[in-house]
Amino acid sequence: MDRKEFSNKVYEIVKDIPFGKVATYGMIAMLSGYPRRSRMVGQALHNSPDSLNIPCHRVVNHQGRLTPGWTDQKQLLSNEGIHLKENECVDLKKYLWDIALIFF
């Protein structure tokens, strides 16, 4: 799969993350069929065209940390009812997308 195909697969997966939920880069990589490409997921999202309206703000790292330098992400998540813990991370136990539901 080339980079463009991979990016398009990532966009389709991220579009499926429900309002008020988050996923990790690793989860998106796993769902794309390339579990070792979590950094490429981040690159694809960073380079996603605005015209596609990809909800990139719903993707965080495996600890629930937000994207460094993206000041709007916190507000976008807050607008969806996702509140951060004191350490400024998303509470993954509360807000993580239950991907098992998409397989049934």
Q: What is the pLDDT of residues 18-38, one digit of tens each?
A: 999 999 999 999 999 999 999
Of the candidates 10, 29, 54, 56, the residue annotated as catalytic is 56
**Domains delineated in the chain:** 3-103 (1.10.10.10)
Rounded Cα gap, residues 60 and 27, in angstroms: 10
Cβ 99 vs Cβ 23: under 8 Å: yes
Interval 35-66: pLDDT, tens: 999 999 999 999 999 999 999 999 999 999 99
Region 75-100: mean pLDDT is: 94
First to last CA, the chain: 26
Residue 101, pLDDT score:
56
pTM of the model: 0.92
Enumerate residues 6+ apart whose C-beta is below 8 A from 10.
28, 32, 40, 41, 44, 45
Quick check: is 89 catalytic?
no
